[in-house]
Amino acid sequence: MLCMTASSGPTSCGGASEEVRANQGRACVDGVRIDDVERSGVEAYLAGLAADLKAEVYRPQPVLRVEIPKPDGRTRPLGIPTVRDRVVQQACKIVIEPIFEANFLPCSYGYRPKRSAGQAVLAVKEALVRSWWVVDADIEGYFDKVDHETLRGLVRRRISDRRVLTLIDQWLRAGVLIDGHRHQTRCGVPQGGVISPLLANIYLHTLDRWWSDRHTGLGQLYRYCDDFVVVCHSRGAAQQVRDLVAGFLGRLKLTLHPGKTHVVDLGADGFDFLGFHFHKRPSRRTGRLVPYAWPSQKAMQTVREKIRQQTERTRLRVDLGELVGTLNRIIRGWRAYFAIGNSTKKLADLDRYVWLRLWRFLKKRQGSRGRLHPAAFAEWERRSGLAYFYPTGRRGLALHVVG
């Protein structure tokens, strides 16, 4: 195996370290950052790590638990491994991922090479052209409830190398550091680990295979890691799907969230999946109900909050070029993802929101003696290089609202 045999040395870990650097590795329980490794010498660091792996004395450290704020005010737990552990996880992933990829099914889109959330969105939208019922499923606390023994058994079906199996077992049992105290992990995989998405896919591949082998006549499954929907032709089929899936997940020691799993009638309601809201609306051309997909209310709330944070009063002294650069990264990334949907109105709404936030931001920046006219602001915006959510739109249409 790469990084773990005499035939492979630190260069194998080098590829993994490049991946970790690209993902902006941050400090964890040992306080070491990617920048620190680069300053002290990457080659020496990787050589030492490769030697520890070869001698089988490498031991992972607990992951650092941090809470990531969610738009609804709650938080999502994230477990961040050390840079050292991330490099080894990436090296392991590079080796074992192709082995599992050979068996993964087309219905799985999440965290896979040459697969994306956008592809899943388009596939679901296409399936809805001829279908009217959807099981919108939510696995309750998935990453915290993955059963270690079941996962080990699934990994052993494809991997026989004792050293690889030992590494995976060590990562599962490494524990989590919360407020300075180490806690054991008897189940679950940490959200934030490099190898965690692959392990999560290995676990739920059993759902994909079971569905593909036995139940495709009831509906089509579309899964992005632990987020999935089943598109069905009838209410009866959808209700049967919900019950069948709940029973199968029980065998994996998982449960569907009773308050977040729904059977949806597309003739009357819609559902959210991967940041999009899916709904059927009359076609402007034919008048027939057809599927549309636009940014969900939650997605809109999230991006507005990001814009608000960049333009709040506490940042009045920030360099305007820096501010525009930060906003452009938010706008372009969001626009690139949601461009595949029926998002024109939502994108135009966000352009107006950016315009109003910047107008108020610059008014406050000038203070009570400043005089910022709408025409002058529009000229500044034109010269600033500020990106648009809707590139062909005109954010300036909102001038009369605040002028």
Q: Inform me whether the pLDDT recorded for 15 exceeds 60.
A: no
pTM: 0.87
Q: What is the mean pLDDT of residues 282-302?
A: 94
Least confident of 213-217, 266-270, 282-286, 321-325: 282-286
Render pLDDT for 361-387 as a digit per residue (tens, 0 to 9): 998 888 767 677 888 888 898 899 999
Q: Inform me whether the pLDDT recorded for 194 exceeds 60.
A: yes
Q: Inform me whether the pLDDT recorded for 128 exceeds 80.
A: yes
Residue 74: the pLDDT is 75
Q: Inform me whether the pLDDT recorded for 284 exceeds 80.
A: yes
Residue 403: the pLDDT is 44
Contacts 24+ apart (CB under 8 A), 217-223: 218/244, 219/131, 219/133, 219/135, 220/107, 220/127, 220/131, 221/107, 222/107, 222/109, 222/120, 222/123, 222/124, 222/127, 222/273, 223/107, 223/108, 223/109, 223/110, 223/120
Q: Inform me whether the pLDDT recorded for 400 exceeds 80.
A: no
Q: What is the mean pLDDT of residues 133-159?
A: 96
DSSP 198-262: HHHHHHHHHHHHHHHHHTTTT-EEEEETTEEEEEESSHHHHHHHHHHHHHHHHHTT--B-TTT-E
Q: Which of 187, 253, 223 is nearest to 104 (CA)?
A: 223
User: How many Å apart are CA 383 and CA 394, to the nearest integer?
Assistant: 14
> When comparing pLDDT for 29 and 203, which is higher?
203
Residue 4: the pLDDT is 44
> When comparing pLDDT for 182 and 205, which is higher?
205
Q: What percent of the chain has pLDDT over 90?
A: 72
Q: What is the mean pLDDT of residues 66-73?
A: 76
Q: Inform me whether the pLDDT recorded for 114 exceeds 50.
A: yes
Query: Do 58 and 166 contact (CB within 8 A), yes or no?
Result: no
User: How many Å apart are CA 30 and CA 6, to the nearest integer?
Assistant: 28
